[in-house]
Amino acid sequence: MTASEFPVSLQRHQFAALEPGPRLLVLGAVHGNETCGTRAIERLLRELESGALAVKRGLLTLVPVTNPLAYRKKHRQGERNLNRNMRVNHAPANFEDRISNVLCPWIAEHDVLLDLHSFHTGGVPFAMLGPEDNTGDIEPFSHAQAEQKMAAHLGTTRIVEGWMTTYARGVERRRKEGKVNAPDLLDRGYGVGTTEFARTVGAYGITLECGQHEDPRAPEVAYRAIRQTLALLGMADIALEAPQEEIEIIRLVDVIDMEHAADSFTREWASFDRVAKGEVIGHRHGGAAVTAPDDGYIVFPNPKALAGNEWFYFGVKSDRRL
């Protein structure tokens, strides 16, 4: 792709009610091959533009395609993963840096963020939840109750927590082992994506994984989640459904990188497949086994990961309660 073929703008649609209220930002296609959010936002836009639905309070901002280069290429990323190292870049080095320079101020203008994604292999939808309220160094936060309430109303029966602490561990391992040369993968801010950045500017938000990339049900999951968020925030005349009562919460505890293109899984894992301590998950290109450190779950297995990037995550059952 030549420089002249790179997208030169980022499009958003805003609906500002005359009555003040919450400011909600909804993102689709942060990863270009994850289009369920795009389809759901397009469906909602048709309803808003036709008058079938109206924003009665606050400000609604919809971004159907957050990474237009990756979306055009039908790939996860354009030149790098947009949903890592989310920050304002005073000397942007790639396309995603320039998108971040537009997107970060947009996020900072809002109170609540809903970021709609999908995943590589089979599995059921789930929500990514931030930390409990804390004043620590990794991810200080003070809106856990509101965020937990939002997660409970998105229709999923599974929630994943522990993203930033897991990433911090993974980055420190990369720095210690010296097997990765890419500066962005060694940056201690590498785990910061859209919702993590939102928490740094006083907002809260949920990353919703709506299903496998090609699952025809995923756009419906995304669409319902947008409508229920509008209902929860009192922004539109939409009936609020009861929160999920039985929600399984899994805490990520480690991220395992693919070291070589020939690293391989023992089988086609799906997110949240259970594994027993010592069970072989995959093999390095030299034949060494990669085993489960404890009884737990495989999360986000990516057999097509790039060397030096995340191959899979390992999670355990959390004792957190919503």
Residue 185, pLDDT above cutoff 90: no
Q: In terms of DSSP H, where are the helices of the chain?
A: 36-50, 68-73, 95-108, 144-152, 163-177, 183-186, 194-200, 218-232
The DSSP annotation for 78-115 comes to SSS-TTSS-S--SS--SHHHHHHHHHHHHHHT-SEEEE
Summarised one tens digit per residue, pLDDT across range 238-296 is: 999 999 888 999 999 999 999 999 999 999 998 899 999 999 999 999 999 999 999 99
Best CA proximity match to 138, nearest among 171, 104, 105, 96? 171
8 Å CB contact between 41 and 26 = yes
Residue 308, pLDDT above cutoff 70: yes
d(CA 198, CA 131): 13
d(CA 67, CA 89): 16
8 Å CB contact between 166 and 255 = yes
DSSP 174: H
Q: What are phi and psi of 85, to 5 degrees?
A: 55, 45
d(CA 43, CA 270): 29
| Domains of the chain, earliest start first | 13-246 (3.40.630.10), 252-317 (2.40.50.100)
d(CA 150, CA 113): 10
Q: What are phi and psi of 78, to 5 degrees?
A: -90, -75
Summarised one tens digit per residue, pLDDT across range 139-163 is: 999 999 999 999 999 999 999 999 9
- The whole-model pTM stands at 0.93
pLDDT, greater one: 186 or 47: 47
pLDDT, residue 1, reads 61
- Diameter over CA atoms, the chain: 63
8 Å CB contact between 172 and 262 = no
